[in-house]
């Protein structure tokens, strides 16, 4: 019986290991983490992350062949395959600060694996890592383990989208496995491939060398972010010329060489991966002397920052060049719908921009806690007076001068906007940063509406 251990009980490790347990009932899967509170949450009825379908998967497998534990060393030692899904943040100091990936958690995990292992293991990179990280990990493992123990390093990057992670895992468009191309490496690839083959068609399981798999993950996120920045750049031009970005994106989507995905203009992209991975890609390019290539990818992030700043400017200028003392309702704080994740959410920069102009914010998100919002906004005692976190959209908008839609939650489409309008200050403004509302209907009610990439009235 194969035993799997997943190190890291976060957004990647928890769901991934849970689905493997669901689809491979004969395999024992342990998810380990040094955080007692996080593991306690996984063992409770209140999981530490929200993801549609996750609770059902965990409840089906937990206690049968899926276990969550803080006994890291025990489960790593017993495992045949160890998935490592630890955090890989951007370095904040030292060489490459602000761009390079900080691999401190990965190195610590590798040293622990080497120290406690008493048998051969396959170690799988699940975190997003720089190209040739496997080479460094292999050195740490081989130089710190008992001499007779052998390790094979595989790269198996995740391609999950938060909000659809369970469906992405159950029905992936591809699974990528990279490994050494010698006999031992190819054998390890086949063992991991056999696990995924329990539910993933063979033609969707792609095998490559280690370096191609590592780079493919960075390239994947960079290309997706590039599409978002491209359509957002077009949205600015649409507003200036009278074109409508929704019509432009629809025309683009019908080009089979382009396709329809990631062509929705918005206030900007967020999440834990896009900016971090592009900055990592920039650093790798710069380290290899590819300055022009690095500068190209830098522009993707610059356009994203520009879009967020442009949105704040539009709010302030539309409301007679000042929002000082005015109540602004913020509907949505997560970086996208169907997740509680706020990492790099555009809402942070938009809120800070409005607070910088002395606005008073009333924030509502159906999944993000008040504690998390306060943490993300780094709220000082003076800022606390300007921000309230409320329990529903009607409370947030009552007495407000304007509304900012910053997350595309479905419930924001079905709000009674006539009721909202009646309870707002006049003129009442709506700034739709996600282009999810019926602009003409809102204008018919009496709102002054700004929608990204659409001409003003």
Token pair belonging to 255: 């080009």
Put residue 332 in one of left, alpha, beta given phi > 0 → left and psi -120 to 50 → alpha.
Answer: left
Our measurement of the distance from residue 188's CA atom to the centroid of its chain's CA atoms, rounded to an integer in Å, reads: 29
Calpha distance 88→440 (Å, rounded):
45
DSSP 412: G
Strands 151-155 and 175-179: antiparallel
The angle, 0 to 180 degrees and rounded to 10, between the axes of the packed helices 210-241 and 291-318 is 40
Exactly one of 273, 285, 351, 404 is catalytic; name it: 273
Calpha distance 66→14 (Å, rounded):
10
- Which residues, 6+ apart, have CB-to-CB distance to 128 below 8 Å? 88, 101, 157, 158, 217, 218, 221, 273, 276, 277, 280
Beta-bridged to residue 124, according to DSSP, are 83, 154
Token pair belonging to 150: 């052998």
The three-class DSSP label of residue 357 is coil
Nearest CA among 335, 395, 338 for reference residue 363: 395
The angle, 0 to 180 degrees and rounded to 10, between the axes of the packed helices 346-356 and 291-318 is 50
Nearest CA among 310, 302, 300 for reference residue 237: 310
Residue 273 annotated in active site: yes
- Which residues, 6+ apart, have CB-to-CB distance to 144 below 8 Å? 110, 111, 114, 115
Calpha distance 421→433 (Å, rounded):
18
User: Do 342 and 374 contact (CB within 8 A), yes or no?
Assistant: no
Q: In this structure, how many other beta carbons lie within 10 angstroms of the beta carbon of residue 209?
A: 15
Catalytic residues: 273
């Amino acid at each position: 019986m194969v035993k799997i251990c997943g190190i890291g009980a976060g957004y990647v490790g928890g769901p991934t290991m849970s689905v493997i347990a669901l689809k491979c009932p004969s395999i024992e899967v342990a998810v380990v983490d040094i955080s007692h509170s996080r593991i306690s949450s996984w063992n409770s009825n209140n999981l530490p992350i929200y993801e549609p379908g996750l609770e059902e998967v965990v409840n089906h497998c937990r206690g049968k062949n899926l276990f969550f534990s803080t006994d890291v060393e025990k489960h790593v030692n017993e495992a045949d395959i160890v998935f490592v899904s630890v955090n890989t943040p951007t370095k904040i100091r030292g060489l490459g600060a602000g761009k390079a990936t900080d691999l401190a958690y990965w190195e610590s995990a590798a040293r622990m694996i080497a120290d406690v292992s008493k048998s051969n293991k396959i170690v799988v990179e699940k975190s997003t890592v720089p190209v040739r990280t496997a080479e460094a990990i292999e050195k740490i493992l081989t130089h710190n383990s008992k001499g007779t123990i052998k390790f094979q390093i595989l790269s198996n990057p995740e391609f999950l989208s938060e909000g659809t992670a369970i469906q992405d895992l159950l029905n992936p468009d591809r699974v990528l496995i990279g490994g050494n191309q010698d006999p031992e490496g190819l054998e390890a690839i086949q063992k991991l491939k056999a696990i995924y083959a329990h539910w993933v068609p063979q033609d969707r399981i792609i095998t490559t060398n280690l370096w191609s798999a590592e780079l493919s993950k960075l390239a994947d996120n960079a290309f997706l972010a590039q599409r978002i920045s491209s359509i957002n750049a077009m949205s600015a031009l649409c507003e200036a010329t009278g074109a409508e970005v929704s019509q432009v994106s629809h025309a683009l989507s019908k080009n089979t060489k382009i396709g329809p995905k990631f062509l929705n203009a918005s206030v900007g992209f967020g999440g834990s991966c896009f900016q971090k991975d592009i900055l990592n890609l920039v650093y790798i390019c710069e380290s290899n002397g590819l300055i022009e290539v690095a500068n190209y990818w830098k522009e993707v992030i610059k356009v994203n920052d520009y879009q967020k700043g442009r949105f704040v400017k539009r709010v302030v200028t539309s409301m007679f060049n000042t929002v000082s003392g005015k109540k602004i309702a913020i509907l949505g704080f997560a970086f996208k719908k169907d997740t509680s994740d706020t990492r790099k959410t555009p809402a942070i920069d938009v809120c800070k921009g409005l607070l910088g102009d002395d606005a008073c914010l009333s924030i509502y998100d159906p999944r993000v806690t008040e504690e998390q919002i306060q943490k993300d906004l780094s709220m000082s005692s003076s800022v606390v007076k300007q921000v309230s976190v409320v329990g529903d959209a009607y409370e947030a908008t009552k007495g407000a001068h304007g509304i900012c839609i910053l997350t595309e939650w479905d419930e924001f489409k079905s709000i009674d906007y006539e009721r909202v309008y009646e309870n707002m200050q006049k003129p009442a403004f709506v700034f739709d940063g996600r282009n999810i509302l019926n602009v003409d209907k809102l204008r018919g009610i009496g709102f002054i509406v700004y929608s990204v990439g659409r001409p003003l009235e």
